[in-house]
Structure 1
């Protein structure tokens, strides 16, 4: 019974994270890249657009990516421990799985969407494997240290920016508040031919997987995977902790973190989202707040599972989690078709973007459970599993 509860808890959490991801990814698909971090970079924030941005930033931005990163670290332990409990080495399957995940991620990044997270996950998974035997305290300490590196780099750069010459500010301003020419160039590229889209996507993906990866993404994802391992070992992610632990995680971790994120919004609007204050220093409220809110979200979802309410909805969310890779990629393909293929890039306001999110939610809540009633895996899970094991896995249920 415990094993069943543990698996359901992880599937529900994974499905919950997958449903939250398009709330933020839709902004990258539909607007210039800088608009994801700087809400003043592309459109005036007024009325419903302002409400949409504030609510999505506070409740979703980085929170679901954080949760999914924690769960990815947990999955490393889950998979490797199954092999090791049978007296088999987990080394080969771990590295084969993540090699093919890296390939899938690179294809996704350069052919579909530059904001891919699969390739960074795979790269970090290569390095996280040797730490799986560490104690819970050791993993938490190391995870927090690694997670802090990106924050320390941002603090250092941010304080340097406060006294930087105007020429320096202007030289990097395009990455934060692009001028009309840069905006028109990106909009024209993604509304243009496939070759124009590919050129624009290649440039952004390469930057994210080199400069931005080693300065920010690596430290964040690697640190979160280590913390995910610790939370898995402690039983927190699998529903094995006591009810009081989950209540405390919501009240004393999640809620205070929400206040921190909200204060960050006030701080950045007070400074009019200027590069000197908001690009590095102003981002730290959400960087740290997202970790606490992700833990709070775990607490809420586990309490709902333990309460055994909304069973029908939870079963559908769990189905989404069981085919998380497929659903993540289908989200990207759907948004790429609409915004790039049909030419709606740069034409959809933030509040209108929620229509796309609602469509994705309705579709995935509907088809995921139905799909798994006929097939053992999602289509991309089947492909990934077959490549990793070097043989064609049974796909359709008898």
Structure 2
């Protein structure tokens, strides 16, 4: 599980790069910002096909598995599993809110904390119920995506004031916002730190409202992760043949579907309707199979004695530290209170930062764990959740 988690946190960096470096709308539409040269569009297409939503789903899958793991360890130690879990989630929520408002608008930790509380209610559920409830959560996201897509198609004529307002609202998140809004956002993030804090406070939705509105899919993946943990999928309990069959049954078809979606969206000139159809409706529909296929492929690649596997697993043991450290470094690089590179790089150029960041992550994680028992953020999380000072040095 550490190896898969390490690969997921490395993949999340790739997914988040446009969010660190470009206006928010550019995450889904290259027309919003970041350049439209063939290399920039190819970078968008590769990210859409291979990464967008998949790493987040994989991370949520592992988070759900960790819920059961913590419950099992607490019960084995004679502790109150509910109390242990709730303290962990409360602490993670505080860490996530600090990350959200003080560093970066794309935080997922506060949502994981809130939805992790809901996931705990299913800890004793049979595996079949976990699978059914998990798929139901994904279905809610698909229905929501269908609603957004249908709204885009219905309001595309922009024949009435209401249609214009609805189209512009959708364009603000998935299309091309008005130039004045883009320039205001760019000026904000090229400004000082307090200006960015104020923007995030005013523009970012309340975490509780976001969890209620958008959390069904994430909760669904957590429940599927609990089922996958119980069934041995995430713990290496399957045979290599089983993992190979799962990867072959899921990845070729889902990759082909995503390639088709990317090409259709590109050829449409990134029409808002096609962006929503691809990113918010069809992709969420087939994403669970792709996420499970990724998990199977990674477990096939895992080699306990391999140096690379050990480094990736170390990054997974320090996933929280690596996630937060990535945000800090990228924000310092792009925001105005650091090097001020926000919205200055073409999209394709951003990905030159990936091998540098991955190399640092794979080197510092095992180096740290040879000396210390936990990653720095994991140590803080554990200390605050337990109200005690854990051992610092590795034994």
Q: TM-score range by the shorter chain?
A: over 0.9
Secondary structure of 2:204 counterpart: helix
Tell me, in whole angstroms, the C-alpha distance in 2 between the residues paired with 1:41 and 1:214: 28
**Contact 2:5–2:313 (8 Å) recurs in 1:** yes
CA change 1:227–1:309 in 2 (3 A) is closer
**Contact 1:98–1:123 (8 Å) recurs in 2:** yes
Matched with 2:190 is 191
Deviation at 1:99, TM superposition (A): 0.2
CA change 1:161–1:212 in 2 (3 A) is farther
Aligned pairs, number: 385
1:79 and 2:70 correspond: yes
Q: Deviations over 1:164-187 (max 9, x none)?
A: 251234441333311221111111
**Contact 2:382–2:390 (8 Å) recurs in 1:** yes
Q: 2:49 aligns with which of 44, 49, 58?
A: 58
1:159 and 2:150 correspond: yes
CA RMSD of aligned residues (A): 1.8
Tell me, in whole angstroms, the C-alpha distance in 2 between the residues paired with 1:337 and 1:124: 30
CA change 1:157–1:53 in 2 (3 A) is closer
1:337 and 2:341 correspond: no
**Contact 2:4–2:295 (8 Å) recurs in 1:** yes
Q: TM-score, normalised by structure 1?
A: 0.92
Q: 2:377 aligns with which of 375, 380, 391?
A: 380
Deviation at 1:281, TM superposition (A): 5.8
Q: Deviations over 1:222-281 (max 9, x none)?
A: 110000000000000111012222111111112211112112112322432222342256
Deviation at 1:396, TM superposition (A): 1.8
Query: Can you give the 5+ residue segments of structure 1 that lack an aligned partner in the other structure?
Result: 1-9
**Contact 1:139–1:227 (8 Å) recurs in 2:** yes
CA change 1:187–1:119 in 2 (3 A) is same
Matched with 1:314 is 309
1:250 and 2:241 correspond: no
Q: 2:12 aligns with which of 21, 35, 38?
A: 21
**Contact 1:150–1:219 (8 Å) recurs in 2:** yes
Tell me, in whole angstroms, the C-alpha distance in 2 between the residues paired with 1:337 and 1:310: 36
Matched with 1:365 is 362
Matched with 1:136 is 127
**Contact 1:323–1:368 (8 Å) recurs in 2:** yes
1:233 and 2:221 correspond: no
Deviation at 1:285, TM superposition (A): 2.6
CA change 1:246–1:356 in 2 (3 A) is same
Deviation at 1:98, TM superposition (A): 0.5
**Contact 1:114–1:202 (8 Å) recurs in 2:** no
Matched with 2:161 is none
Deviation beyond 6 Å, 4+ runs, structure 1 = none
Tell me, in whole angstroms, the C-alpha distance in 2 between the residues paired with 1:262 and 1:170: 26
Secondary structure of 2:373 counterpart: coil
Matched with 1:5 is none
Q: Higher mean Cα deviation, 142-151 or 349-358? A: 349-358
Q: Deviations over 1:140-174 (max 9, x none)?
A: 01110111102102212322332225123444133
Matched with 1:45 is 36
Q: Deviations over 1:172-218 (max 9, x none)?
A: 133331122111111111001222212222233226x36554332x0
